[in-house]
Amino acid sequence: MSASINPDRLSPALRTEALEQLLTERGLVDPAVMDKFISTYENDVGPLNGAKVVAKAWTDPEYRARLLAEGTSAIKELGFAGPQGEHIVVLENTDTVHHVVTCTLCSCYPWPVLGLPPGWYKDPAYRARIVREPRAVLAEMGLTLPDDVEVKVWDSSSEVRYLVLPLRPEGTEDASEEELAGHVTRDMMVGVAR
């Protein structure tokens, strides 16, 4: 009697690998195309694009105003557009308000400016807990906010995705856009870091 494998007991990574292998064997997926797609989103369409948007907003008040008023078109001005970026709303962190983003249904995420979503963003525990106990989750991720800072949680969907405009770091008044982009991380633009 042969033993069968219950796919529900496999990790998502193993299931994904098995599915990719099956699709490749049947000639439905070209591994080179998949590798290029993944590389593009990890390296070219990744968080560096979002960092450039943030740095531009930090140095150009007119661009910042356009970005906050109509995120999608302001982001397109810098050449960043595409699937999962059809409608992006930009949320500005301040000294008194901190924004954090999730997607409670799946993992909607603004790919053109943040690249592929990290594993923790897709994790059901993060998606559920960040809504119920945002301060606790943020603290677990290394971000403890003062009690007088209001935390607002935003739920992305297939219709709208969010990008957080973080606070500009102190002491960077003379920094160039390129230098400022080096200060910006993906986690800051999701709101789990400051």
| CATH at 123 | 3.90.330.10
- As for how many domains the chain has, the answer is 2
Q: What is the band of 22 on the pLDDT scale with cuts at 50, 70, 90?
A: confident
Asked if residue 76 and residue 166 are part of one domain, the reply reads yes
Asked if residue 93 and residue 160 are part of one domain, the reply reads yes
Asked if residue 106 and residue 22 are part of one domain, the reply reads no
Q: Return d(Cα 179, Cα 51) in angstroms, integer.
A: 10
103 among the known binding-site residues?
yes
Asked if residue 107 and residue 20 are part of one domain, the reply reads no
Mean of pLDDT values over 72-88: 94
Asked if residue 131 and residue 63 are part of one domain, the reply reads yes
Query: Does any domain span residue 5?
Result: no
Q: What is the band of 42 on the pLDDT scale with cuts at 50, 70, 90?
A: low
Asked if residue 33 and residue 55 are part of one domain, the reply reads no
φ, ψ for residue 52, nearest 5 deg = -65, -40
Asked if residue 133 and residue 69 are part of one domain, the reply reads yes
Show the domain range for 86: 47-190
Asked if residue 178 and residue 116 are part of one domain, the reply reads yes
4 among the known binding-site residues?
no
Give per-residue pLDDT as tens, 132-177. 999 999 999 999 999 999 999 999 999 999 999 999 999 999 999 9
Give pLDDT, residue 2: 47
108 among the known binding-site residues?
yes
Catalytic residue IDs: 103, 106-108
